[in-house]
């Protein structure tokens, strides 16, 4: 009969050899920075939200239709109307400084050098 300490040792030894694919561990999640752009269809790596939760958090799904449009004053107003009640919208051009905090309720609208919307994501 195994002692309690021996049984715990066997259990821990089994955990060390666990296959990440079987255990559900995701090593890639630990390497993704919190400010990494995320597609509107996918929740951030390591989060326990579903893709549909991600779309609801900042309404990126509603903003996706503006990708390819010039981010002029009229388009910006239409984006804000489309994602309401989300009011935290960050317009980010190449080289713009941004904070590194992740906010699932903030919509990031990424612009190219000419001011065209190239992508949208929560964060």
pLDDT tens, residue by residue, 59-115: 999 999 999 999 999 999 999 999 999 999 999 999 999 999 999 999 999 999 999
- Does residue 45 register a pLDDT over 90? no
Neighbours of 94 (CB within 10 A): 10
Q: How far apart are CA 43 and CA 61, in angstroms?
A: 12
pLDDT (tens digit, 9 = 90+) per residue, 5-20?
Answer: 454 444 444 544 444 4
The pTM assigned to this predicted structure is: 0.57
Q: How far apart are CA 118 and CA 20, in angstroms?
A: 35
Q: H helices of 17-97, where?
A: 20-23, 51-58, 60-63, 73-83
Q: What is the pLDDT of residue 34?
A: 41
Domain positions in the chain are 34-122
Tokens describing residue 35: 């400010």
Is 34-122 in CATH node 3.30.10.10?
Answer: yes
Tokens describing residue 11: 């259990």
Length of the chain, in residues: 123
């Amino acid at each position: 009969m195994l002692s309690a300490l021996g049984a715990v040792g066997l259990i821990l030894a089994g955990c060390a050899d666990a296959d990440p694919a079987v255990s559900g561990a995701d090593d890639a999640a630990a390497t993704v920075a919190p400010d990494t752009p995320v597609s509107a269809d996918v929740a951030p790596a390591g989060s326990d939200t579903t893709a549909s939760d991600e779309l609801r958090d900042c309404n990126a799904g509603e903003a996706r239709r503006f990708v390819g449009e010039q981010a002029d004053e009229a388009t910006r107003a239409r984006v804000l109307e489309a994602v309401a009640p989300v009011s935290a919208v960050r317009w980010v051009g190449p080289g713009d400084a941004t904070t590194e905090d992740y906010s699932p309720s903030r919509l990031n609208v990424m612009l190219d050098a000419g001011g065209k919307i190239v992508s949208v994501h929560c964060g």
